[in-house]
């Protein structure tokens, strides 16, 4: 750093320090003056200024003593040294406590130090002084909020409606007002709570309920709607998105509550809606104590850690503080990406990344001997249905024999928990992918019988945004101007976001019993055609059509989470159900070869 920059930095620091002290001095002086004004008002209203000379002396002495006590007490408690944000509710409480303390102290010494002081003075002056001081702070807060941020020219501002007049909505309005980069002007709220229909928030009215969003947007000449309901589910987001699309409004949302830092909304949290918001947003509740009980301080191995599911599992497991986290994959670039995402570097030179193929049993034995894992999440798999229909041997080698290799080594090293990631295509399998994953479930159940350990499988449907998924294909087709290809107009699938699915996978590992297949609650199946139309609408693209290509070999029109012979039973978690699958002895694998 140059000498000139160092000097400039010191000068700026000194200037900020001086400004802060000046502001605090003004605040203390204002409180002193407020005690004097309150004293004068009470003297005029209550006594009409008709008091004796002795009483005048006591009154003046009382006023000076109260003001000085207020300043001294505030300095000692750091009340005037930046302890609270000026105009905040915290400061209001602090102000009330300080005024109350001064009132008590002056009342206690009034007989000794203020002889002849009218009895009404120490009783009536403090509440009025508090009112005047609070009013001054409120005025300061209003001026600060109005002056904060440089407003854009009117032509560059966009009128916005905030959907939700709760705490998040108020935070969004404040951010929009103070952050010029957002370029919004809030012209009104809508809220489904009819009890808020006459509410005004910082001068901005609640104009109606969500059902009136389109007409309100037209009346207010709005061009955007911000859904400020962090707990909104996919149904609400989808409904508002449809209304926004019909009214040609830009649509913005907030993250889930669990994704907000400290429950507070930041300007960067306000983002355009994505298809994951519309199809995901399952309300996942997590028993953190049970998860921490089996992950914290344990040695954890994740196979397929470079994939979409494996990477998110690694991120979530890392947050629970395992003793060690080993990420195994045969794709070195994928390992680089996940290490960079979790640890902030991609050096690939530590024991946390292992380049290996689960098809190689001797390699797995060396990995287990070195790292001695206690818990295994098995996410490595080949998953593209059409590709496995063309190359079934590859699916068999990875999804079946690779899983068997892991199960054998896990048993040899007495693994405490083994969680196999499966798919809804294993239920009434009609494809190579489904058959191989079904065999993996049955092998896991067999190994659980042999060890008596909680070796389980977790079955769920499509995850939004996984690598090579339908959404990536649709996005690329939309960006290219279309058309978007859909196999069949009636085809449906279950959907869940990657974080939601992985959160439930980790939870399932905590509550699953040996041999069970834990099935995640995916909500209602969604028509792929509707997904295509929604994605086109969210992109804002015009003239993008949809063409139908026909179902591919082994592909179902509608997926099922359970086979016809399976009977689901509830678990300790409302979004996880369990079924039993017949165990498959590895000696009988040859009879199932696809």
Q: How many CA atoms lie within 13 A of 320 on its CB side?
A: 25
Tell me 487's DSSP state. Answer: S
Strand partners, 160: 186, 224
Q: Which of 224, 75, 209, 117 is nearest to 161 (CA)?
A: 224
Question: Using only C-alpha atoms, what is the Rg of the chain?
Answer: 33
3-state secondary structure 312-365: HHHHHHHHCCCCEEEEEECCHHHHHHHHHHHHCCCCCCCCCEEECCCCCHHHHH
Give the angle 466-469-474 at the CA atoms, nearest 5°.
Answer: 125
Three-class secondary structure of residue 309 per DSSP: helix
Q: Which of 71, 89, 87 is nearest to 79 (CA)?
A: 71
Q: Provide the angle, in degrees to the nearest 10, between the axes of the packed helices 89-113 and 121-147.
A: 150
Residue 442 contacts residue 403 (beta carbons within 8 Å): no
| Residue 358 CA from chain centroid, whole number | 34
Residue 116 contacts residue 127 (beta carbons within 8 Å): no
Q: How many CB atoms lie within 10 A of CB 10?
A: 10
Q: How many CB atoms lie within 10 A of CB 403?
A: 28
Strand partners, 300: 325, 375
Strands (E), 379-450: 417-421
Q: How many CB atoms lie within 10 A of CB 215?
A: 12
262, burial (CB in 10 Å: exposed 0-12, middle 13-18, buried 19+): exposed
The DSSP annotation for 465-483 comes to T-TT-HHHHHHHHHHTT-P
Distance separating alpha carbons of residues 275 and 540, to the nearest angstrom: 13
425 is catalytic: yes
With the C-alpha atoms ordered 263, 267, 269, 271, is the resulting torsion angle positive or negative?
A: positive
Three-class secondary structure of residue 286 per DSSP: coil
Residue 195 contacts residue 179 (beta carbons within 8 Å): no
Buried b (16+ CB within 10 A) or exposed e, 264-282: ebeeebbeebbbbbbbbbb
Q: How many CB atoms lie within 10 A of CB 26?
A: 12
Residue among 196, 298, 383, 425 flagged as catalytic: 425
Residues recognised as catalytic: 425
């Amino acid at each position: 750093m140059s000498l000139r920059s160092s000097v400039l930095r010191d000068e700026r620091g000194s200037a900020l320090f001086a400004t802060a002290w000046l502001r605090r001095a003004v605040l203390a002086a204002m409180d002193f003056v407020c005690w004097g004004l309150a004293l004068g008002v009470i003297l005029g209203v209550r006594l009409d200024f008709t008091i004796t000379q002795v009483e005048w002396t006591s009154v003046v002495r009382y006023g000076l003593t109260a003001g000085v006590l207020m300043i001294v007490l505030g300095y000692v408690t750091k009340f005037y040294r930046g302890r609270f944000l000026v105009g905040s509710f915290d400061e209001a409480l602090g102000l009330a406590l300080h005024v109350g303390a001064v009132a008590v102290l002056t009342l206690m010494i009034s007989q000794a130090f203020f002889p002849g002081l009218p009895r009404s003075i120490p009783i009536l002056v403090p509440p009025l002084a508090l009112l005047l001081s609070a009013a001054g702070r409120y005025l300061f807060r209003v001026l600060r909020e109005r002056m904060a941020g440089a407003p854009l020219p009117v032509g560059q501002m966009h009128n916005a409606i905030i959907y939700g007049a709760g705490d998040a909505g108020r935070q969004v309005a404040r951010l929009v007002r103070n952050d010029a980069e957002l370029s919004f002007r809030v012209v009104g709220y809508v809220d489904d709570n009819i009890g808020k229909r006459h509410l005004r928030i910082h001068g901005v009215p609640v104009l109606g309920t969500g059902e009136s969003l389109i007409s309100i947007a037209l009346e207010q000449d709005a061009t955007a709607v911000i859904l400020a309901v962090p707990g909104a589910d996919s149904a609400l987001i989808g409904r508002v998105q449809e209304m926004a699309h019909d009214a040609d409004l830009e649509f913005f949302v907030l993250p889930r509550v669990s994704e907000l830092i400290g429950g507070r909304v930041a300007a960067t949290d306000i983002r355009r809606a994505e298809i994951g918001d519309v199809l995901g947003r399952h309300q996942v509740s997590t028993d953190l104590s049970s998860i921490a009980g089996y992950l914290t301080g344990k040695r954890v191995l994740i196979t397929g850690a470079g994939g979409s599911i494996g990477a998110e599992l690694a991120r979530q497991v890392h947050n629970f503080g395992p003793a060690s986290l080993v990420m195994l994959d045969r794709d070195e670039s994928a390992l680089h990406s996940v290490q960079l995402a979790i640890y902030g570097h991609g050096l690939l030179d530590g024991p946390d990344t292992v380049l290996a193929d689960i098809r190689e049993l001797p390699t797995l034995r060396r990995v287990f001997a070195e790292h001695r894992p206690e818990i295994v999440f098995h996410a490595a798999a080949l998953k593209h249905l059409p590709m496995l229909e063309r190359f079934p041997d590859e699916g068999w080698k990875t999804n079946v024999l690779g899983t068997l290799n892991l199960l054998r080594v896990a048993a040899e090293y007495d693994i405490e928990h083994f969680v196999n990631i499966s798919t809804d295509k294993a239920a009434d399998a009609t494809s190579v992918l489904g058959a191989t994953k079904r065999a993996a479930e049955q092998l896991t159940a067999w190994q659980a019988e042999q060890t008596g350990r909680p070796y389980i499988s977790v079955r769920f449907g499509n995850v939004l945004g996984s690598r090579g998924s339908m959404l990536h294909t649709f996005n690329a087709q939309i960006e290219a101007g279309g058309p978007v290809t859909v196999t069949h107009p009636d085809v449906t699938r279950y959907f869940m976001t990657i974080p939601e699915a992985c959160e439930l996978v980790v939870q399932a590992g905590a509550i699953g019993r040996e041999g069970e297949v834990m099935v995640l609650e995916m909500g209602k199946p969604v028509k792929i055609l509707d997904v295509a139309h929604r994605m086109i609408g969210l992109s804002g693209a015009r003239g993008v059509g949809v063409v139908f290509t026909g179902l591919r070999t082994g592909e179902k029109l509608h997926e099922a989470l359970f086979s016809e012979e399976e009977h689901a039973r509830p678990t300790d978690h409302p979004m996880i159900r369990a079924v039993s699958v017949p165990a498959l002895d590895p000696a009988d694998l040859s009879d199932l070869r696809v």
